[in-house]
Structure 1
């Protein structure tokens, strides 16, 4: 059976609906940076996702080609993730989607080194005849966060975020947005096939101990 990160690391991908604290270790990702409304048709966000999945599946399907990646194991491509922020805003303002800055992510298996990443970019470029230079090898340690599973539309997330904020405060923590610490979403549902009210999204915010 292919290794499935969602099942093997449920603490990061399948949290309960009630908020909880979690410490997220360092991981490597494919990443594309951009800005603007993610709902814009054929916009930068949609193009970024296409680039990410093309490289992700180049790595996954390398098992069928002539280039063997050292340490390769079969796996399920992890879910799409997104880091979101807006200049001058603590957290995010859902009414100002045009002001979003974002980093779209797909987690990389541990066997993917920078050399393997560079090979995948070259391979995808040759096969797709497309520019994959926006795709980065992104190393990131998220650290201490509060998270929970959000069920419903993305526009309904503020209620979930409010519950997370209350929980964090009750536990003696405050949100800790800043450099390398963002509003984080992990998308577990296919928006093309899932009813909006049933969408499953992990919502995660960085926190730190509240020192009075």
Structure 2
């Protein structure tokens, strides 16, 4: 979905608690996901690098601050991948968010999943550290919310973000074939470091909550 992504300067890690969620393949899989906290920041319009880049320091500062706080309690975790929720200005979700002709209508939330082991005070301290890394227009929007998707279908897309459409259509066709239907927002998880990957080697998990 994004045109480009700016990776963090730190080593990229995945949270041990969601390893199963990240074992996506080209075959569509159905999973039941537990609720988890996530650091979130909203945006709108075309997903240019200039839109994403100012938000990333706050998200990664939140995630890394929490990781170190938990390590001090003897709980070892890893910082997970950048993720995105996508919809349109009128609330439309699912396939329409990808196929809509006007990218100016897009709305999105960037997020990084956080460990369930965190205490409320640790979460608050982490988000304050994240806000300190953001310019005024973004600091007030950084927050931690619970992401509760439940039953989802997901598939791995290999290649440029601009070529996701056939993968997304196949995902939705599989959902329909099983008698389920999409609900909630289109969800993408961006694996690896896009700075070090050729466009045809980019890996993106395409996820859709279902009912």
* TM-score bracket relative to the smaller structure: 0.7 to 0.9
Tell me the TM-score normalised to structure 1 length: 0.80
Matching of residue 22 in structure 1 with residue 31 in structure 2: yes
Off by >4 Å, runs of 4+ in structure 1: 4-8, 123-126, 128-131
User: Aligned-pair distance for 1:96?
Assistant: 3.0
**Contact 1:38–1:46, Cα closer than 8 Å, also in 2:** no
Distance 2:163 2:37 in 1: 30
TM-score, length-normalised on structure 2? 0.80
Answer with 1 or 2: which has the greater Rg: 1
- What is the match of residue 100 of structure 1? 106
Question: Which ranges of structure 2 fall in alignment gaps of 5 or more residues?
Answer: 1-12
- RMSD of the alignment, in Å? 2.4
* Alignment size in residue pairs: 193
Tell me the distance in 2 between the aligned counterparts of 1:123 and 1:52. Answer: 10
Q: How big is the shift at 1:170? A: 1.5
- CA offsets, 1:21-47, max 9 Å, x none? 112111111111121222142x3x222
Partner of 2:54, secondary structure, is helix
Contact preservation (8 Å) 1:21, 1:147? yes
Residue 169 of structure 2: aligned partner? 162
Say if 1:124 and 1:171 are closer, same or farther in 2 by CA, change over 3 A: closer
**Matches of 2:85 and 2:30 in 1, distance apart?**
18
Answer yes or no: is 1:85 the counterpart of 2:92: no
User: Which of 186, 189, 194 lines up with 2:189 in the alignment?
Assistant: 186
Whole-Å separation in 1 of the counterparts to 2:209 and 2:116: 24
CA deviation map 1:86-131 (0-9, x unaligned): 13434213543322211111111122222112222344556x5865
Q: Distance in 1 between matches of 2:66 and 2:208?
A: 30
